[in-house]
Amino acid sequence: MKVHYINILLFALPLNILVNNHKKQRTTQKIPSTRLLCECEVYAPANYDNDTQMKSVIDNFNKQTQQKFEEYDKRMQEKRKECKERCDKVSQKIILKDKLEKQMADKLTTLETKIDNEDIPTCVCEKSLADKTEKFCLNCGMNVGGGVTLSSGVLGRISEALISAWQPAAITAAKEAAEKAATALATKAGVREVISKINVWNIDFMYDKGFVDFSSVVSKLNFKCPTVLFQNAEKLLVNSCIPNETTRSTLPFCNTVKIEGPKLFKDFAEAGIAKYETEFALQKEALEATKVGAVKTGFESSISSINAAIIAIVVIILIMVIIYKILRYRRKKKMKKKLQYIKLLEE
């Protein structure tokens, strides 16, 4: 509860107003601050100098300040050095400029105002070996580079045209060679087949009187011809198939050959022809694949070798161009220096 007084119309009326205060009233007690004389002795000069903590603080402060001063001195020395170098460079430029101006002034004062054409000396400028080499390399880089570029393109096209024209002819020749080789192998196989058929037929008449082996009549030229084979066989039978003088009869083997000969040798020739055709087809396919593949491989290797040569030529061209660019840059640099020197002399 609190009591409030309000002055109304100069009359002091006591008003008792009940105020509901939910907050608890807290009163802070005043702590007396009393200092004793004994505490002041801690900060006495004698105690202050002898304190270990204060000594460490003082030492740290002294060390840090000393370090800061040393760093400051180093920075100042470096800055002084840089400033001195800049000043020296500027002073050297000024001295050089003054010297050139004095020399030009001296030379201009010594010149005469009237100069005839006869008074102008004619001199031949001798170029150094480096300048001559540089000029030669410049011309070489321009001429040889362009010539090699054109020649490499022309040679590449000519070689490609020659190879493209040579490839079909080479493939045709390879096929013809494969056909010839296949024909030879098939002929041998046909002859062997006819001889083997004759040997099989000989087994039934091997022990007959007047027996003749007809395998010797087969050759590369007649193994396909039954008529020629039969005629050659009859020639072999002339001596062995002689009729008996009394009975006028011939041997059974001779009669069998004369009666069954045309049909028999026709079967032999047909077997040889069938073997020839089969072997020819197999050998021709295999040999054509081998020989045509070899031709194509050679064509690809020749193209790769031509490409390698062209690449080498291009690399040489690039090297020449690089050398040309370097020499041209050096020449421009020299001319720039000369122009700067002339401008400096004019100033």
- Summarize pLDDT for 329-343 with one digit per residue, the tens: 888 888 888 888 787
- What tokens does 44 get? 């006495």
- Summarize pLDDT for 177-228 with one digit per residue, the tens: 888 888 888 888 888 888 888 888 877 777 667 677 777 788 888 888 888 8
Closest CA to 280 of 193, 215, 206: 193
- Summarize pLDDT for 23-69 with one digit per residue, the tens: 555 666 666 665 554 555 555 666 666 778 888 888 889 999 999 99
Q: Average pLDDT for residues 126-151, to the nearest whole number?
A: 51
- What tokens does 347 get? 């100033």
- Summarize pLDDT for 101-130 with one digit per residue, the tens: 888 777 766 654 444 445 444 444 445 544
Q: Burial level of 141, CB count in 10 A (0-12/13-18/19+)?
A: buried
- Summarize pLDDT for 301-318 with one digit per residue, the tens: 766 677 777 788 888 888
- Summarize pLDDT for 74-108 with one digit per residue, the tens: 999 998 888 888 888 888 888 888 888 888 777 76
The Cα-based distances of 338 to 93, 98, 105, 129, 346 in angstroms read 19, 20, 21, 19, 12
What predicted TM-score, i.e. pTM, was given to this entire model? 0.41
**CB 198, CB 268: distance < 8 Å:** yes
Q: Is the pLDDT of residue 72 over 80?
A: yes
What's the CA gap between 254 and 230, in Å, rounded? 13
**CB 236, CB 214: distance < 8 Å:** yes
Please give the share of the chain, as a percent, with pLDDT higher than 70: 60
pLDDT of residue 227: 84
**CB 273, CB 192: distance < 8 Å:** no
Residue 222, helix vs strand vs coil:
coil
Residue 32, helix vs strand vs coil:
coil
Please give the share of the chain, as a percent, with pLDDT higher than 90: 3
DSSP states of 260-299 as a string? HHHHHHHHHHHHHHHHHHHHHHHHHHHHHHHHHHHHHHHH
**CB 293, CB 175: distance < 8 Å:** no
Half-sphere exposure of 149 (CA within 13 A, CB side): 11
